[in-house]
Amino acid sequence: MSEDTRLRGIVLISLVGLFVAVYLLLYHLGYYGILVCGTGSCETVQTSKYARFLGQPVPLWGTLWYAGMLVLAFLGLGPVAGRRWPAALLALGATGGLLFSAYLTGVELFILHAVCMWCVISAVLTALIFLLARPWSFLTRSAAPA
């Protein structure tokens, strides 16, 4: 798979993730429909104390992360194509995103015992971005002579 194809994949997946994260953020902020807490799985997850990280709603962090990955992938495709730093930042961001996603999935499975469909979708998207960003190959490449 060529670098362009991988970057295009990251753009598309990040765009999907961005919409999911913005949707969850707007839901969290009360822009959609009825403002209630219930015992459904998604509501349990989104109204739990784990729905905030560093004082801010988790969907806000998701929105920023997907937007960042989207911009970096676009930069890698166009304005700074061929430069190493977008790929390095993508690899770094994808690794951080995967770790955070694993933490959230762990909270859902082992602490809240509730799984939200939107969170699963976001976790899958994050894993796909990680696979396309290929941080391991970046590390291998950086170790090799230029």
Is 32 a binder of another protein (CB under 8 A)?
yes
Q: Which of residues 39-78 bind another protein (CB under 8 A)?
A: 39, 43-44, 47, 49, 51
Q: Is residue 131 part of the contact set for another protein (CB under 8 A)? A: no
Mapped onto helix, strand or coil, the DSSP state of residue 31 is coil
Q: Which of 6, 10, 11, 128 binds another protein (CB under 8 A)?
A: 11
Contact 73, 85 (CB under 8 A): no
Is residue 15 near another protein by the rule CB under 8 A? yes
Which residue, 137, 112, 122, 4, is CA-closest to 58?
122
Single out the residue of 59, 54, 32 nearest to residue 116, CA to CA: 59
42: helix, strand or coil: helix
Give me the residues that bind another protein (CB under 8 A), please: 4-5, 8, 11-12, 15-16, 18-20, 22-23, 26-27, 30-39, 43-44, 47, 49, 51
